[in-house]
Structures are given as C-alpha cells and as structure tokens.
Chain A
C-alpha cells in the first residue's frame, strides 16, 4: 500500500472493542445464574431467574455488542459520522453496564428500589445513544436498504427501552398496567424491531461481503424492513383491541416474514459459487436455522392451544431467539469484525502492506470453530433443558463455558493487535 494514503476517520479501535470485550461476560453470568438457579429457572418466563437471564442476554450481551458494532458499522458501511464516538462511548457504556446490573439484580431479588434506580440510567444511556446514532444515520448522504433498516432499528430500540422502563416502574411501584400485553409488545419490539431489524440490515451488507454470496434480492430488502415494522405495529394493536384473536392475526404473518428472512439467508449461502466454511458462515447458519425453528414452533404453539398454554413453550421460543439466533449471529459477526478492524487499524499506522499481518492471523481458526461447537452443544442442551429440568445445570455450565471461550478469543485478538502494532511502530521508527 502507498504509505502516504490517509485513512478515514473511523472511531478509535478502543470504542467498539470495549463493548465487544464486555458482552461475552454477561453470557458467562447468565450461564452461571442458570446453573446456580437449577431446574425451576425454566418453569415459565415469569420466574425471577428467567427475567434476569433474559435481560443479561438482551442488555448485557446483545445491546453491548450491537452498540459497539454500530459505532464502527455506521462509518464503514453507510459512510456516516458518529458525533465524538469516544466521548459518547465513555459516557454510554458505564451507564449501560450499571443499569443492566441494577435491573438484573432488581428482577432476580424482586427489589423495587433497584428497578427504579435502573430506569433513569437506561433512559439516559440509551436516549443519548439513540440521538447520536440517529443523527449520524439521517445526515449521511448514503442510500440503500441497509441504511433504512438501521434507521428503523434505532427507532425500535427507543420503543423497547421506553416500554421496558414503563414495565420496570410498574413492577417497582405496583402501577396498574396490562403487564402481559405490554410485555408481549416490549419483547416483540426488542427482538423484532431492534434486534432482527438491525441484524437484517447489517446482513444485507455483510452476508454478500464476508460470506461471498450473491446480494439479497432488491425486492426482498425493499419489502422486509417496512413489512416487519408494519406487522410490529399490528402486533402492538393487542394493547388497544380487546380481541383474543388479534395476537394470532398479527402473529402468523410476523412468523412468516421471520422465516422468509431466515430462508433467504440460508438460500444465498447454499447457492454461492465459492463455498467457505469459516466460523462466521457456520454461525450464521446456526442463527438462521434457529430462526426457522422459532417460526415453526411459534406457529405450532398458536395452532395447538394445549402446547401453547404450557408456560414452557414461551421459554422454548426465548432460548431459540436469544441463544440460538442472536448470540450465534452476533458471535459470528464479532469473529469477522474483530480481525477486520485489527487489519484496518494496523494499515493506518503507515507501514507497507506486506508488514501488516493477514486477517486470518488475528484469531486462530481452530479456536473459533472449537468455540462454535461448544456453543451449538450449549444451545441444544438449553433447548432440552426447557422440557427436561434435570439438564438445566449442565446447560447453564456449557453456555457459560462457551461464552467464556468467546471472551478469551476476543481478548487474544486484541492482544495480537497490540503485539503487531508495537512491531510495526518499531519498524517504522527503525526505517
């Protein structure tokens, strides 16, 4: 590379990495909590343990990793500039970490004061983050459906956190609100409007780029995001319409488009000309198969009221969504983003290209595929544990171990970055 080429103003590498480094350890906490709680944790989604586990993954793992990725993804994929990323990350991340721990402790030990303390911290942290990200996403001159999906996703995050805050305050102060309907809507916006919308938007960009597939068809990317948004609004109608059939009417089409996204991504992987079987491709396959399983099980629970009425059916869906879809897809993404960022930032040091190590040297392939196998085993054990409570502790330990291995792999990548950086700096000085 030409040493005089100047690189873009991407945020310092420490901005995304501080979020990536934190995320896996919340997964470890969730696994340990599950192993410690034992067989009753999965009895229903309303047990204190299940609520705490859900938020350890949703806020600790997913929101941390997704926020860190957004800081990096906005300049790289849609050419937007996040305002003072280091300052925003310095403020947002500690607030988010503290708020997550308070909320989880509040849910686990049924402590109203902790729940109330978490709410303003979330509103401040996520509010600030949403404003900064929304400004970047609306000011960029870029176009395309990845950008629109990201814009809708950041709106989905705002709705999720507002509803979550209302729910936490109602639990803390015993406010009379329709808890079940509000929880269903909060969950749909968190998993669908924020999580899946962002995953889909990002995958329009990264699946062809990193997994060497054909691009997502234009009709699909134009239709998926707006349709998902529309169906989430319809799903939210259950709050206003006192009709028991409504969740069914809005729920089926919602499951259908989830399946369409999962099926389309798998089809693109299946029909690519150059087959690569790296950890990211495999992780995406696990995530999309879990999404299809979620859609099929959801439809079965709607159609068979006897199984649908079992409180464990929602726990089953939760395991598929959180551990099967999101932890898998996010881990796969981090295994690609981290080596790529290492490479990109090492390039910026001004060394000749030959001096910058190949991306494949940043995390050993064996370490990633080994961790992937353990993760798949953990997801399978978690799914069995929903119906066989005797397996709960083993499932918890496996999930904790798999997340710890992920954390260790990411620490290794960052240490390698530091090592290569010091070598390049020394050689630049030497010449």
Chain B
C-alpha cells in the first residue's frame, strides 16, 4: 500500500510534519510517496539516521517524487 503526501502547495514545515507522522504508521513493505518541488535535506538526514531508505525522481514539471520505505532487515 502507498500513502501519498502532496506537499507542493503546503507551507513548510507542514510537509515534514505530515511525513514524520505518516512514518510512525508505516508498516514493513509499505511505501510513503512524498511530492515536493525541492529536495528536503533535513528530512533525508532524519530518514538516514532512523533506518529508512528512499528513491527520488525528478518529473518534467519540476516535481520530485520521493518514495520512502523502511530499510530491509
């Protein structure tokens, strides 16, 4: 199952708040998809330090699709 957070029209820190809340409920094997117009480095640091992995894709309209899940094992 994929939870989607569209942060493109939200003012910071709302996208980060929603993402951190959603991470609390993220089960193994589930995805969290975050849509933003920028690279959220503070969030990346939190993910890195807390056992999450993510992939990032830049769409032609400038949207960044950030797909987050728990690191395997």
Contact = CB atoms under 8 A, between A and B. Distances in A.
A7 interface: yes
A362 B42 CA distance: 20
B17 interface: yes
Interface of B: 8-13, 17, 20-21, 23-24, 37-39, 41-42, 44-46, 49-50, 61-62
Contacts of B39: 77, 79, 142, 144
Interface of A: 1-2, 4-10, 75-79, 142, 144, 205, 208-210, 212, 214-215, 217-218, 273-274, 276, 340, 343-344, 353, 359
Given A2-B24, A6-B50, A8-B45, A340 B38 contact: no
A7 B38 contact: no
Looking at chain A's contact residues, the main secondary structure is: loop
Given A76-B41, A142-B41, 4 more contacts: A75-B42, A208-B38, A212-B8, A274-B9
Nearest to B43: A8
B23 A208 contact: no
A212 B17 CA distance: 17
Given A209-B37, A215-B62, A1 B45 contact: no
A209 B38 contact: yes
Contact of A359 (B13, B21, B37, B61): B13
A148 to B, nearest CB: 14
Contacts of B62: 208, 214-215, 217-218
A421 B70 CA distance: 31
Task: Point out which of A1, A10, A78, A144 has the most chain B C-beta atoms below 10 A from its C-beta.
Answer: A1
10 contacts: A1-B21, A1-B24, A7-B42, A7-B45, A8-B45, A142-B39, A209-B37, A212-B9, A215-B61, A218-B62
B11 A276 contact: yes
Per CB-CB distance, the 6 closest pairs between chain A and chain B, nearest first, are A8-B45, A215-B62, A208-B37, A79-B41, A1-B20, A6-B49
Contacts of B49: 5-8
A145 to B, nearest CB: 12
A359 B39 CA distance: 20
Contacts of A343: 13
A242 to B, nearest CB: 46
B44 A79 contact: yes
B42 A8 contact: yes
B41 A273 contact: no
A340 B13 contact: yes
Given A5-B50, A8-B49, A218-B62, A209 B42 contact: no
Nearest to B36: A209
Contacts of A76: 41-42
B41 A7 contact: no
B46 A6 contact: yes
A202 to B, nearest CB: 12
A143 to B, nearest CB: 9
A212 B11 contact: yes
A359 B10 CA distance: 13
Nearest to A205: B38
Contacts of A276: 11
Contacts of A78: 41
